[in-house]
Amino acid sequence: MNLIVIVSDSLRADHVGCYGNEWIRTPSLDWLAQDSVLFEEAYPEALPTIPVRTSLYTGRRTLTRRGWQPLEPDDVILPEILKEHGYVTALITDLYHIFKPGMNFHRGYDCFRWIRGQENDHYANRPPEKSGFDLDHYLKPEMEGSYEWTETRQYLANMAGRKCEEEYCTPQVIREAEAWLEFNYDAEKFMLWVDLFDPHEPWDPPPPFNRMYADPNYQGREIIEPMAGPSTYLEVEELHHIRALYAGEVTFVDKWIGRLLDKIMELGLFDNTLIVFLSDHGHPHGERGYMRKNVQPDFPNLHRELLHIPWLMRFPGGEFGGTRVKQFVQTHDFLPTVLNVLGIPVPEGVEGRDLMPLIRGEVPEEWPEYIISGRYNRNWCVRTHDWHLIVTREQGPVELYNRQTDPEEMINDIEGYPHIVQDLLRHLRALGIDV
C-alpha cells in the first residue's frame, strides 16, 4: 500500500465545507471527504509548525519537552521507518522552516524538493524597493520596525517578477508532486509527503482568489501579513479584507489540492494508496481583538480558531468512506495509525494511539474524554466535549468556556465553575505541567 500525506499549514477547520463552512468554496476537500474518514475533534499535540511536524514524524509528545528545534539524532521518524520497509520516499514542500540549516526534517527521504520564497525565506537578494511592488500598499505606518514589516518586505522581494498563478508557491509544489508521481507511481510502494505552507500568512492569493470574498468597494491596503497581537491598529474594513484574503487563500489551496487528486486518480492510485490530509493548526483573525499566533507568554490564545484542525483519511478503494469520528484525536496519533494501516510494527516509545478502533466504531473504554495541547510551554489547554480550559505560565489569565452553550468560546465562565477548573487542572498536572 502506498502513502500520500498532504499537509496544509494554518488551515482552520471552520473554513472547510465538510466541517460546516457555508461561504468558502472547498470543493476538492469536500469531494475527498465523501470517501474518507473525517475526524470531527482533531487537534495538534503542541503548537506551532515545527512541534507539530515532530509529533507527526515521531508519534511522541513534544509538550513540556521540546519547542522550535531540529529533529534529534535518536528520533525514530516515519520516512526512515518506511525506507527500512522498502518504500521509496519523497518530501516536496515550500515550508522553508523545515529546510533551514540544522533543522533536518528532510532526513530519511530518497528525494526532497524545496520551493523557495515563502514568507521570510531569505531567497531574493534584492532590495524590496526594487521588487516592483508598491510597498506602501502592503504596509501600514504602524507596522514599521516590526517583524511583520521585515517579513512582508522580504516576501515581496522574493515574489518579484511573478507573472501568473502557476508561479505562486502552492502551484509549484503541486506540479513537482505531480511530476514525482508520474515517475514513481509504479514503484512497488512509495510514500509522498506534500507539505504546503499556504494558507499560512502572508495571505497573498492570485486573482481571482484575492477578490473572491472581498468587498468589491474596498480601496484600502493589502495587509497580507498583519502584526501578531492586538488588532486595534487595523480599521474595520482592513480587518474584513484580511479575512477575505485568507478565505481566498483557502480556496486557492483547495483548487491545487484538487489538481493533485486528479493526478492520483489519473495514475490509478486510489485503489492502493492511503491518502491523509490534515493541517497543523488554525489561525486567529481578530475575533477576540488579536491577530495570529500571539507569542506573549501571558496571553492565552489557544481558542477554537487556532486549535481545531481538519483531518481526513481516505483508505484504498474508499473503505470506511463517510465515517465521522467524534472522539478526540491528536497529531501524535498519526504515526501509529498510519503504520498499523500499512502493516508495519510501531516502534517502542511511541505515545500516540492507533485510531483504527475508532474508525471501525469500536471505542475502547480507556479512550480519553479530553485532549491537552499547548504552545512553547507557555500556554496550555484542556478540552473536553463540554469544557475548554486555557491557562498560562507565570499566573497569567485563566479562561474557561462552556462548549455546549458557548461554542464560539466568547464568554469566560472562570468564576462560575471552580470545581470544573480544578478537575481539568488535574489532567495538566498529571502530565507534569506545574499550574
Residue 110 φ/ψ, nearest 5 degrees: -70, -35
Phi-psi bin for 318: left (phi > 0), alpha (psi -120 to 50), beta? left
pLDDT for residue 392 is more than 90: no
DSSP one-letter code for 312: E
Phi-psi bin for 432: left (phi > 0), alpha (psi -120 to 50), beta? left
What confidence category does residue 395 fall into, taking pLDDT thresholds of 50, 70 and 90?
low
CA 137/CA 210 separation, integer angstroms: 15
The three three-digit cell numbers of residue 15, written as one number: 473554513
Q: What does the mean pLDDT of the chain come to?
A: 95
User: 389 forms bridges with which residues in the sheet?
Assistant: 382, 400
What is the reported pLDDT for 179? 98
What is the reported pLDDT for 375? 87
What confidence category does residue 434 fall into, taking pLDDT thresholds of 50, 70 and 90?
confident
Mean pLDDT along residues 170-189: 98
Query: Considering only 245-254, 372-381, 390-399, which range has the smallest mean pLDDT?
Result: 390-399
What confidence category does residue 394 fall into, taking pLDDT thresholds of 50, 70 and 90?
low
Mean pLDDT along residues 146-150: 95
What is the reported pLDDT for 48? 93
pLDDT for residue 299 is more than 70: no
Three-state DSSP state, 355: coil
What is the reported pLDDT for 378? 82
What is the reported pLDDT for 396? 67
CA 359/CA 339 separation, integer angstroms: 15
Q: What is the pLDDT of residues 3-43, one digit of tens each?
A: 999 999 999 999 999 999 999 999 999 999 999 999 999 99
Mean pLDDT along residues 59-78: 94
CB atoms inside a 10 Å sphere around CB 4 = 22
User: Which of 277, 310, 280, 274 has the alpha carbon at shortest distance from 293?
Assistant: 280
Q: CB under 8 Å to 249, separation ≥6 — which residues?
A: 198, 199, 203, 204, 205, 209
CB atoms inside a 10 Å sphere around CB 243 = 17
Q: What is the pLDDT of residues 317-368, one digit of tens each?
A: 999 999 999 999 999 999 999 999 999 999 999 999 999 999 999 999 889 9
What confidence category does residue 168 fall into, taking pLDDT thresholds of 50, 70 and 90?
very high
Residue 384 φ/ψ, nearest 5 degrees: -115, 180
Query: Considering only 12-21, 160-169, 374-383, 411-420, which range has the smallest mean pLDDT?
Result: 374-383
What confidence category does residue 294 fall into, taking pLDDT thresholds of 50, 70 and 90?
low
234 touches 223 (CB < 8 A): yes
Q: CB under 8 Å to 300, separation ≥6 — which residues?
A: 379, 381, 390, 391, 392, 396, 397, 398, 399
Domain boundaries, the chain: 2-366
Percentage of residues in the chain having pLDDT higher than 90: 89
What confidence category does residue 297 fall into, taking pLDDT thresholds of 50, 70 and 90?
low
pLDDT for residue 295 is more than 60: no
pLDDT for residue 95 is more than 60: yes
Query: Considering only 133-147, 167-181, 288-302, 407-421, which range has the smallest mean pLDDT?
Result: 288-302
The three three-digit cell numbers of residue 343, written as one number: 502493516
The domain defined by 2-366 folds into: Alkaline Phosphatase, subunit A (3.40.720)
What is the reported pLDDT for 377? 77
